Amino acid sequence: MAEHSIRVVNARVVTPSGTITGGIAASDGKITAVGSNSSLPEAEQTIDAEGNYLIPGIICPHNHMGISRYEHDYHTQYELDMETETKACLAGGVTSFFTFLLQEEPYVPDMDFFVDTGEQESYIDFGFHAIVHQDHHVDEIDDLAAEGIRSFKLFFNMYKTSAPELGIGHSDAGRVYTVLKKTAEMENAVVMFHAENDDLGPVKVEEIKAEGRDDLSAWADASPGISQAMQIEQIGMLTEHTGATTYVVHNSMEETVDALGRYNERGVSIHGETLPSFLANHCEDEDVGLWGKISPPIGYKKDQEALWKALRNGTFDHVGTDHCPYQLEFKGPRDGSVWEAPPGDQGLQTFLPLMLSEGVNKNRISMERMVEVCSTNNAKRFGIYPRKGALVEGADADAVIVDLKKEFTVDEDYLYGLDNRWCSAFGRELTGAPTHTIKGGELVVEDNDVLTEGGIGSYLPRYEDGVPVTE
Ligand SMILES: [Zn+2]
């Protein structure tokens, strides 16, 4: 990878200080210049962007490698997913991600495995969030920070009823308080929450089932927006009380916007994420079917528009995918029963295309704001900025050319990944797609053809002063 120079010209370059006409130059994996065409140094390889946008590589802060465990154990499935799913990432313009570590055993003894296996298999750079769901995980927090993990996730009240059978311990307010107190003093620490109330959930499910309903809107009504907002209220209060920094993953309904907005106005450091699955869909669209069954659920049209508005006005600052690489035989048919299918969507490869097609091209978000919420802000929140998340001199040369007019269908030919026969966007015709992905100064994807092998990804550890900058 060393000593290769590349440049992109004739682009609309989205930089932190505005969008300029010109391009970037890179050598040895780093950006060496950003500016007008004539200001860029010569390079071994030149790509003509033909007037299209050039944006920083997309960064997914939320996905689950190794989550599907009915065929292999966690570590084997993690190894497989780190190859197939990161290849899908690259094709879709995602050049870095943070994935959740989830096991019952302590994490620290397995850190070498997670890092080394990732570097052997991955097509993209990667970091980790640790899911803290056992007391011994809480005890590991300082040691995990020494391993480069400063983001921790709790299922606050979620999985309470199913905890024993899933092997996932839920968290009560006591554990939340303990973790927030511990991390409040830690530089760059973020505590992430699945906010959905599992005392209310089972009662609602029985109520809606008894009405004989079985579709995506039934699933939405079984976990209404207040179920998320109730948990956000407590997380907000505990965040304010401890002075920690928190992040609520996958907000899907209007009530979450109201709840987070109230705490934002009080200056509490609580931050909101939503998903393309929620931004691109609503639960009354019958074409989506149960491949759109997610926890929390896809909301109604009013929820969808409230989420876009929250991204525009800054109530939400982050978009991630919550990509769950299940196989179709596990997820089940699109027209099956919503009460039987496991929740989860796939979305790494369609992350950027959905944001372009449903967002930028429908005037719901500007290109610049899209770059902020899908790349820059994710890099900042999780301690890898400005090495990642911005087209600036000295940053890693991870960049994507996007063609806003390119039309394509999300089908089996388009999708990479473990099992490409299902996802909520499957079958959809989109307008707007990445045409070239550059990672570490190398052209690695052209028109959805991946031009590299796996094993080119690096671990992104986060310490007190962020991620180390490599030479
Ligand atoms: Zn998730």
pLDDT digits (tens, 9 = 90+) for 100-147: 999 999 999 999 999 999 999 999 999 999 999 999 999 999 999 999
What is this structure's pTM? 0.97
Has residue 417 got a pLDDT over 90?
A: no
Q: How many CA atoms lie within 13 A of 424 on its CB side?
A: 30
The amino acid at 99: T
Rounded mean pLDDT of 273-281? 98
Residue 160: band (very low, low, confident or very high) from pLDDT cuts 50, 70, 90: confident
The amino acid at 320: G
State the distance from the centre of ligand 1 to the C-alpha of 312, rounded, in angstroms: 23
Q: Looking at residue 180, what is its pLDDT?
A: 98
Q: Looking at residue 471, what is its pLDDT?
A: 66
Q: Mind listing the pLDDT tens digit for each residue in 213-225?
A: 999 999 999 999 9
State the distance from the centre of ligand 1 to the C-alpha of 3, rounded, in angstroms: 38
Strands (E), 40-139: 45-48, 53-56, 58-60, 94-101, 125-131
Has residue 183 got a pLDDT over 80?
A: yes
Q: What percent of the chain lies above the pLDDT cut of 70? A: 99
Do the beta carbons of residue 355 and residue 367 sit within 8 Å? Answer: no
State the distance from the centre of ligand 1 to the C-alpha of 99, rounded, in angstroms: 9
Q: What percent of the chain lies above the pLDDT cut of 90? A: 91
State the distance from the centre of ligand 1 to the C-alpha of 153, rounded, in angstroms: 10
Q: Mind listing the pLDDT tens digit for each residue in 434-448?
A: 999 999 999 999 999
Q: Looking at residue 1, what is its pLDDT?
A: 43
State the distance from the centre of ligand 1 to the C-alpha of 345, rounded, in angstroms: 9
State the distance from the centre of ligand 1 to the C-alpha of 304, rounded, in angstroms: 19
State the distance from the centre of ligand 1 to the C-alpha of 249, rounded, in angstroms: 7
State the distance from the centre of ligand 1 to the C-alpha of 181, rounded, in angstroms: 24
State the distance from the centre of ligand 1 to the C-alpha of 291, rounded, in angstroms: 15
Considering only 57-61, 181-185, 418-422, which range has the smallest mean pLDDT? Answer: 418-422
Do the beta carbons of residue 120 and residue 78 sit within 8 Å? Answer: no
State the distance from the centre of ligand 1 to the C-alpha of 383, rounded, in angstroms: 20
State the distance from the centre of ligand 1 to the C-alpha of 100, rounded, in angstroms: 8
Tell me the helix, strand and coil percentages in the chain, rounded to 5: 35, 25, 40
Q: Looking at residue 170, what is its pLDDT?
A: 81
State the distance from the centre of ligand 1 to the C-alpha of 64, rounded, in angstroms: 6
State the distance from the centre of ligand 1 to the C-alpha of 89, rounded, in angstroms: 16
The amino acid at 12: R
State the distance from the centre of ligand 1 to the C-alpha of 102, rounded, in angstroms: 11
Residue 364: band (very low, low, confident or very high) from pLDDT cuts 50, 70, 90: very high
Q: Which of the pair, 160 or 65, is modelled with greater confidence?
A: 65
State the distance from the centre of ligand 1 to the C-alpha of 46, rounded, in angstroms: 39
State the distance from the centre of ligand 1 to the C-alpha of 322, rounded, in angstroms: 4
Q: Which of the pair, 330 or 396, is modelled with greater confidence?
A: 396
Q: Mind listing the pLDDT tens digit for each residue in 322-352?
A: 999 988 888 999 999 999 989 999 999 999 9
Considering only 156-165, 342-351, 455-464, which range has the smallest mean pLDDT? Answer: 156-165
State the distance from the centre of ligand 1 to the C-alpha of 62, rounded, in angstroms: 6
State the distance from the centre of ligand 1 to the C-alpha of 67, rounded, in angstroms: 10
State the distance from the centre of ligand 1 to the C-alpha of 263, rounded, in angstroms: 23
Q: Looking at residue 162, what is its pLDDT?
A: 74
Q: How many CA atoms lie within 13 A of 166 on its CB side?
A: 16
Question: Which residues are within 8 A (CB) of 260 and not within 5 positions of it... i.e. 6 or more apart?
Answer: 232, 236, 248, 251, 270, 271, 272, 310, 315, 316
State the distance from the centre of ligand 1 to the C-alpha of 298, rounded, in angstroms: 14
Rounded mean pLDDT of 443-458? 97
**Which domains does the chain carry?**
5-55+395-450 (2.30.40.10), 57-381 (3.20.20.140)
Rounded mean pLDDT of 11-40? 97
State the distance from the centre of ligand 1 to the C-alpha of 295, rounded, in angstroms: 8
State the distance from the centre of ligand 1 to the C-alpha of 63, rounded, in angstroms: 6
State the distance from the centre of ligand 1 to the C-alpha of 107, rounded, in angstroms: 18
Provide DSSP, 147-164. TT--EEEE-BSTTTTTHH
State the distance from the centre of ligand 1 to the C-alpha of 18, rounded, in angstroms: 32
Q: Looking at residue 89, what is its pLDDT?
A: 98
Q: Looking at residue 3, what is its pLDDT?
A: 64
Has residue 319 got a pLDDT over 70?
A: yes
State the distance from the centre of ligand 1 to the C-alpha of 227, rounded, in angstroms: 17
Average pLDDT in the chain: 95
55-65 b/e (C-beta count within 10 Å ≥ 16 → b)? bbbbbbbbbbb
